[in-house]
Structure 1
């Protein structure tokens, strides 16, 4: 069996290349040839003769594509050509945009912090009127969490304490899509990461901050320890993946006032180095085993 691992040609950091290596090594263990291809090598080529036959590279056609990038146009193109793509272009796109994630989860009745999506504006205009923030203040009490819709590792997430900070940060973010969210005091500086593959939670960790940061992300200095999720947390994480059409993902869960689980975010291509360091579980092995199972089922 042969697959492609699609990566981004312009993103060269150890954090990402290490994950790519883990995935290719996991493939070798199960006898799968996983060939790394960048989104600059496999281009989206559209013309009047376009059809769904697998012709991207006829001499090197894979049995599946493991898509470890956010180039959703390429992912959709490969699907249109008839390739089985893990995760799907739709799943990646919905997770990449936090506002879409919350819209889809809301539609499925999944409990989340109260969230308001900022109105869209244009890059060359920005917000020349911030009157809409008065509605945010009425609906959400301070402090308020502001998240840029496109961002990773908790680095585009902010906490504002008052009206002036709200206006300043909104203006600073400018035309970039963002959302405003209820702050959950009972989960300040702590959350859960549940790693889902298929319909199973294969690993979980408790993340916490010891320096007063309201975020628990490891990238921002948070700590971690292994965690045994309860059935409500497991069911919630799996349901999120089903709703979003994900084969695998990292689901971040907050602790509500009465310790009830609230969904914070869902990451379609969640990095799993930290959870390995924390639990000793290599999620790459689970992902490759799942893909083989799905491909084999499809061949029957």
Structure 2
């Protein structure tokens, strides 16, 4: 016991066989097997053996450093993540250097993009080798940012690429950070532009867009709009101005504006033979009873036209309750939609993420107990799901109705087949990337490259 070295709650590791000079690991005796962040995992044959090829981004919050690794595959294990999602993970055996000595350990390859650490050191790797003092960190030596930069200098290349503006409100949101990371990893300059700090000059000869302090924004190749509902009008005005200046916008102002008008969107779906739950809209309180009958009576859904992420959506379980809610909204001049409740969906819906006319990822969302609407923003759960060809076709067609290059399309399974709930022109990335392990931010940047015919 006296010969065992002490580890802190976090330590630096080195993998010479994989070409990883330094990676910060969380030391976790509660986990059996160690794991490392890996993406683009591909199993292949090397002679009579199975090997696995994968990419590692060893530095947290820095996707511009990407190392291509390969190792012999020793197992594929079913592992349950911290979110409770079970998935199959490849396992490799490789040499790790910790505290000046090297040991062979098993590593599962996992998507740890949302985790604070790119690696987890489990108890199998520590047995008969180390003790853990969780109150200390880097007992075996720390690495400064300057030292880390020096270690990875050979893997860092000079960036020459597109100049992309991210038009949004909060630079700290997961989706916005991921888009910036993905763009920079592909060699582009991505600049965050706060919607409310951008303004414009309207002039026939010299139209301009300026940023806080008078900086003229005239060097952008593309703009990615992630406009929150509260600033839709102003954000769309800015996108039209960018379009006037010849800047490509990943989702146009017209596409965003039309998709956010729920009544107009429902009419567009009907016009294009896209099936939705039966929906009603009326102005006069005198028509409330017939409005309720029109959507097959209670239980039914009442939606504010401006609702987003499940807010402003009410389930009325009786006709009397429905009348009260509808008339209350009408009395304050608030526009609402009344919609058929799909009981057989049982609190589930499906989010399809459509990019450039293709479904690149999909997940099933399950409502929190006691809730009727599946919404991970309000405590619901998400899981991987395999969509049917009919659902895929419906998702693609729904995004195409508004000419959206990027869209989150929400579907629901009913006894009548898949029905469309809504199309979101600024879908979040966190839930679907975490659930599916897909690098959707990268797909969005690749779409801009294809649209602009950019070649690395």
* Range into which the TM-score falls when normalised by the shorter chain: 0.7 to 0.9
Q: Deviations over 1:173-220 (max 9, x none)?
A: 332321111111111300101111012111111111251321011122
Q: Deviations over 1:132-166 (max 9, x none)?
A: 21221221211111111112211211111233322
Whole-angstrom distance in 2 between the partners of 1:31 and 1:291: 13
Q: Name the counterpart of 1:34.
A: 190
Q: Name the counterpart of 1:90.
A: 254
Change (3 A) 1:137 1:13: farther
Q: Name the counterpart of 1:221.
A: 379
Tell me by how many angstroms 1:113 deviates: 0.6
| Counterpart among 273, 276, 280 of residue 109 in structure 1 | 273
Q: Is 2:292 the partner of 1:292?
A: no
Q: Deviations over 1:62-88 (max 9, x none)?
A: 011111113222222322333221111
Tell me by how many angstroms 1:2 deviates: 0.7
Whole-angstrom distance in 2 between the partners of 1:244 and 1:170: 29
Q: Name the counterpart of 2:244.
A: 80
Q: Deviations over 1:30-53 (max 9, x none)?
A: 11111111222321433xx335x6
Please tell me whether the aligned partners of residues 2 and 33 of structure 1 are also in contact (alpha carbons under 8 angstroms): yes
Higher strand share: 2
For 1:15-94, list aligned pairs within 5 A.
Answer: 17-46=173-202, 49-50=203-204, 55-56=208-209, 60-69=218-227, 70=232, 71-94=235-258
Structure 2: gaps spanning 5 or more residues: 1-161, 211-215
Question: Greater shift after overlay, 101-110 or 207-216?
Answer: 207-216
Where do 4+ consecutive residues of structure 1 move more than 6 Å? none
Q: Name the counterpart of 2:118.
A: none
What SS is found at the alignment partner of 2:209? coil
| Counterpart among 190, 198, 216 of residue 356 in structure 2 | 198
Whole-angstrom distance in 2 between the partners of 1:79 and 1:153: 28
Whole-angstrom distance in 2 between the partners of 1:94 and 1:253: 19
Q: Deviations over 1:85-144 (max 9, x none)?
A: 11111111122222122111111110111111243xxxxxxxxx5112122122121111
Paired residue total: 280
What SS is found at the alignment partner of 2:246? coil
Please tell me whether the aligned partners of residues 189 and 212 of structure 1 are also in contact (alpha carbons under 8 angstroms): no
Please tell me whether the aligned partners of residues 54 and 61 of structure 1 are also in contact (alpha carbons under 8 angstroms): no
What SS is found at the alignment partner of 1:56? strand
Q: Name the counterpart of 1:126.
A: none
What SS is found at the alignment partner of 1:234? helix
| Counterpart among 415, 428, 445 of residue 257 in structure 1 | 415
Tell me by how many angstroms 1:56 deviates: 2.4
Q: Name the counterpart of 1:266.
A: 423
Question: Greater shift after overlay, 30-39 or 267-276?
Answer: 30-39
Q: Name the counterpart of 2:293.
A: 138
Q: Name the counterpart of 1:176.
A: 334
Structure 1: gaps spanning 5 or more residues: 120-128
Higher helix share: 1
Please tell me whether the aligned partners of residues 292 and 338 of structure 2 are also in contact (alpha carbons under 8 angstroms): no
Tell me by how many angstroms 1:54 deviates: 6.2
Whole-angstrom distance in 2 between the partners of 1:82 and 1:54: 11
Whole-angstrom distance in 2 between the partners of 1:4 and 1:180: 38
Please report the TM-score for the alignment, with normalisation by the length of structure 2: 0.58
Q: Name the counterpart of 1:124.
A: none
For 1:8-19, list aligned pairs within 5 A.
Answer: 8=169, 12=170, 17-19=173-175
What SS is found at the alignment partner of 1:193? strand
Question: Greater shift after overlay, 221-230 or 56-65?
Answer: 56-65
Whole-angstrom distance in 2 between the partners of 1:292 and 1:103: 33
- Greater C-alpha Rg: 2
Q: Deviations over 1:4-26 (max 9, x none)?
A: 11113xxx595xx2221111111
Whole-angstrom distance in 2 between the partners of 1:202 and 1:22: 16
Q: Name the counterpart of 2:20.
A: none
Whose RCO is larger (CA < 8 A, sep 6+)? 1
Please tell me whether the aligned partners of residues 188 and 215 of structure 1 are also in contact (alpha carbons under 8 angstroms): no
